[in-house]
Structure 1
Amino acid sequence: MATASSMQQPALLLRQLTQDPVTASLLAAALATAVLMIAAVSRGGGRKPRLPPSPRGFPVIGHLHLVRPPVHRTFHDLAARLGPLMHIRLGSTHCVVASSAGVAAELIRAHEGKISERPLTAVARQFAYGDDGFAFAPYGPHWRSMKRLCMSELLGPRTVEQLRPVRRAGLVSLLQSVLHRASGAEAVDLTAALIRLSNTSIIRMMASTVPGSVTEEAQALVKAVAELVGAFNVEDYIAVCRGWDLQGLRRRAADVHRRFDALLEEMIRHKEEAREARKMRGGAEGETPEKKTATGTTTESSKDLLDILLDKLEDDAAAEVKLTRKKIKAFVIVSSCRCVY
């Protein structure tokens, strides 16, 4: 289901699209075609599906016109009129909204598999390398395997505790910067500062042992991914607009994905070379990497998330669902969408 920020953009988007005569003509033709198709289908009769109560909508756009900021207030007002379970159509996308804890719990019990899945939008598909991304993967063996990996290792208590110094360093740096500017009576943009903190923390937790991993380019790529995935894309909601890329979002996403992929390949290659060098030194000197902390080797306590994923890549040769290089890169890129913008 769309995020609150992405659902607040349809009105602004429609104004931007209609300013260009060519785009406006194409959009008008698409809407006219959609209306004719809907009319033809409705005349064909047939048994209608049983759906929860729904507010009055329009052809093509459905209830997009009702989704106004703040979105949670909109759903609250609709639930007060229609009940705790309602049907909302965002363009061509049908959604069921549960507005009470009891109804939501019942839906999860009865449809856990479907609720666990997330819609794979046109932009998200590029960043997730198709179905390789865990966050947007269909419910199945791959999804369950990655969930176990996240819960037991990537986001487990031990890893969270190991990465505490990384998060603390970012917070200390932010506070020092704010105090320095405050002492000079300078204005501080806390929103921008917190976004920067989120970006740098994600990069450091992913690749803290890669020299120069926190660069301006890396932070810009993390920010771009979050913005593109959260943007309202008309082709995700209006079926007849799919494949047209009217807003140029897929084109921009392809460019960001290409640059991010190159950055990740460089990080992974650096780690692979360091791992191979450690193995050679360990074999020559008869020591394990964990014993050689004085020589700068990676120990269990200094591993970042990328180290853990590469360990799994080497160890899971006989696993039911094997971790691949693409799945690792998809995990890193999609994880950057967790930032709040």
Structure 2
Amino acid sequence: MISPGFPLIIVFLGIIITTWSKLKKIITKQTFSTTKPMNKLPPGPPKLPVIGHLHLVGRLPHRSFQTLAKIYGPIMHLKLGSMPVIVVSTPEMAERLLRNHDALCAKRPMSDVSHDLSYGSKGIIFTPYSPYWRNVRKLCVVELLSSSKVKSFSWLRKEEIGKLVSSLKEASTENKTVEVGASVGGVLEELIYRMLYGSPKNDLALRSVVLEALRLSGTLNVSDYLTFLAPYDLQGLKQRIKKLMVIVDDVLEKIISNHEDEAKREQRTHRDLVDVMLSLVKNSDYPSSGTSYEIERENIKAILIDLVVPAIDSATNIVKWALASLIKHPEKMKKLQKEIENVVGMNRIVEENDIPKFHYLDLVIKEIFRLYPIIFAPHEAMEEFSFDGYKIPKGAQIFLNSWAIGRDPTIWSDNCEEFYPERFIDNDIDTISGQDFRLAPFGFGRRRCPGTQLGLLNVKLLLSQLVHCFDWKLADGKSPENLVMKEKFGLVMSMANDLVVIPKFRLNNI
């Protein structure tokens, strides 16, 4: 998302440099045709000097890229200021790129804002591909995200989701409105806090400030592309992230200090992820990795940020998009309610072992992944390489446009803009492995999300519970067909508007 002052900067610069470009062409001769380059860049639109194609990127870059790809093809080169960007818009091209060059594309671009948010690349999301990154990722999987660990927290999910149902039932009794994002996000926040830290959030609420920091990191910062403007911080992003990180650091320091104090008093009844990481501060040998690496206090903080926000925000937005789509299409809502009712009945809420029996639920979630892909974090070329006859420059951002892939009529037919879960009946698309490039909601290649199993389970549990226990109507008497389904861009794509609804409890008295 681009800040309001950004287009004005581009227009100003565009006038100046276009004039200079025309003068330069008059007084210079173009001799490039006499030499043959070793490799050419992928096709792309004509660019302006200095700003390149920044003037073509709107507030929703994924839509801008989709429009341009219809003209310039499935692999496209753009120049955003001084930054080369490669946009891939078909699953075939994405698969060929990552099958052959995944190791060279396993880095994430680092902006000024994400550098501060990750304590200088010490977490997981923005950390360069390296032995440290691989070991930290393995640590998080083993201690938090493995099948056995996810299963061990089933009692916690039941408890917290039960609280959500009770609170929504109370709102139903009083005919009160609820905002779905706040309700679902609150439950997920409590879940993740208790999984990570072993205790409820209480006064350690981290999500709100980190979400704001994440929003800033997803903002198109002019200084990242026109680096000569960096000292001026024209959008004020660097100043805002530094203020936010003071608050974030204070919260994280309390979490770590509490664990240290309890460990000294031997009051820890079990070891959670923070305890494991604290043990590595003193001893860098992690038994599951077979190697040693340094981990310090700032590493712990950066890792916690990277675990908290995706686990909460991604799942919240998937559930929100799904419930909004079902409200907008009442016949699909009734179909899903009927499926769950046939399995569960009307005298109890959904249990975790019911989930594998909900086949239409799987179709609905796949359709949401297709229409509203959550993750938009680009890759970065670690060195120059050749692909499909084109040169991919070192340091180029590689944007795999899941939005365009999910709305490609050659894959999904002419109704690709419609919410139609039935398209996945008898379809062999695998959304879990990240190997099917038609639909990979958790990312592609080495940098795909390690928390897929936990995230998907949380989404299925929450959505099935909301659909089974309640009927929903929009606040202020709005008609479902008038529900606006617009997105805002960021590292996590969310709904542009709040989803304010009134629940009506539909189960028998439980």
Task: Indicate the TM-score class for this superposition, using the shorter chain for normalisation.
Answer: 0.7 to 0.9
Which residue matches 1:310?
A: 278
Select which of 224, 234, 237 maps to 2:222: 234
Note if contact 1:199-1:222 (Cα within 8 Å) is conserved in structure 2: no
TM-score, normalized by length of structure 2?
A: 0.52
Note if contact 2:81-2:225 (Cα within 8 Å) is conserved in structure 1: yes
Q: Distance in 2 between matches of 1:201 and 1:39?
A: 62
Which residue matches 1:292?
A: none
Helix, strand or coil at the partner of 2:138 = helix
Helix, strand or coil at the partner of 2:178 = coil
Select which of 117, 121, 129 maps to 1:139: 129
1:66-145 counterparts in 2 under 5 A?
66-68=56-58, 71-145=61-135
Deviations 1:303-336 (A, max 9, x none): 4332332344444348432222211111112334
Which residue matches 1:63?
A: 53
* Distance change >3 Å, CA 137–CA 218, structure 1 → 2: closer
The farther-off stretch of 114-123 and 232-241 is: 232-241
Which residue matches 2:260?
A: 272
TM-score, normalized by length of structure 1?
A: 0.74
Note if contact 1:30-1:241 (Cα within 8 Å) is conserved in structure 2: no
Letter in 2 for 1:196: G
Which residue matches 1:290?
A: none
Note if contact 1:229-1:337 (Cα within 8 Å) is conserved in structure 2: no
Residue 312 of structure 2 is aligned to residue 320 of structure 1: no
Which residue matches 2:209?
A: 221
Q: Distance in 2 between matches of 1:137 and 1:80?
A: 33
Note if contact 1:84-1:99 (Cα within 8 Å) is conserved in structure 2: yes
Select which of 261, 269, 286 maps to 1:298: 269
Select which of 6, 11, 14 maps to 1:14: 6
Higher strand share: 2
Q: Distance in 1 between matches of 2:83 and 2:22?
A: 14
Higher helix share: 1
Select which of 191, 203, 209 maps to 2:181: 191
Deviations 1:140-191 (A, max 9, x none): 2212222222333332222222333444443333322222112211122113
- Aligned-residue identity in percent: 28
Q: Distance in 2 between matches of 1:308 and 1:34?
A: 57
The farther-off stretch of 241-250 and 213-222 is: 213-222
Q: Distance in 2 between matches of 1:159 and 1:236?
A: 39
Residue 243 of structure 2 is aligned to residue 255 of structure 1: yes
Note if contact 2:44-2:78 (Cα within 8 Å) is conserved in structure 1: yes
Q: CA deviation at 1:125?
A: 0.6
Which residue matches 2:146?
A: 156
* Distance change >3 Å, CA 36–CA 176, structure 1 → 2: farther
RMSD: 3.5
Note if contact 2:75-2:93 (Cα within 8 Å) is conserved in structure 1: yes
Letter in 2 for 1:264: L
The farther-off stretch of 42-51 and 153-162 is: 42-51
The farther-off stretch of 182-191 and 165-174 is: 165-174
Q: Distance in 2 between matches of 1:331 and 1:35?
A: 48
* Distance change >3 Å, CA 70–CA 259, structure 1 → 2: closer
Gap runs ≥5 in structure 1: 1-5, 19-23, 279-295
Note if contact 1:34-1:240 (Cα within 8 Å) is conserved in structure 2: no
Deviations 1:285-307 (A, max 9, x none): xxxxxxxxxxx7423xxx43323
Q: Distance in 1 between matches of 2:264 and 2:24?
A: 64
Letter in 2 for 1:96: I
Note if contact 1:207-1:305 (Cα within 8 Å) is conserved in structure 2: yes
Note if contact 2:77-2:87 (Cα within 8 Å) is conserved in structure 1: yes
Letter in 2 for 1:128: S
Deviations 1:185-224 (A, max 9, x none): 1122113323333444433332133xx6333753432332
Q: Distance in 2 between matches of 1:175 and 1:38?
A: 65
Letter in 2 for 1:308: V
* Distance change >3 Å, CA 312–CA 56, structure 1 → 2: same
Which residue matches 1:285?
A: none
1:22-37 counterparts in 2 under 5 A?
28=12, 32=16
Letter in 2 for 1:175: V
Which residue matches 2:161?
A: 171
Q: CA deviation at 1:122?
A: 0.7
* Distance change >3 Å, CA 66–CA 274, structure 1 → 2: same
Q: Distance in 1 between matches of 2:120 and 2:233?
A: 18
Note if contact 1:207-1:306 (Cα within 8 Å) is conserved in structure 2: yes
Note if contact 1:203-1:214 (Cα within 8 Å) is conserved in structure 2: no
Give the number of aligned pairs.
303
Helix, strand or coil at the partner of 1:87 = strand
* Distance change >3 Å, CA 227–CA 35, structure 1 → 2: farther
Q: Distance in 1 between matches of 2:49 and 2:121?
A: 31
Note if contact 2:6-2:222 (Cα within 8 Å) is conserved in structure 1: no
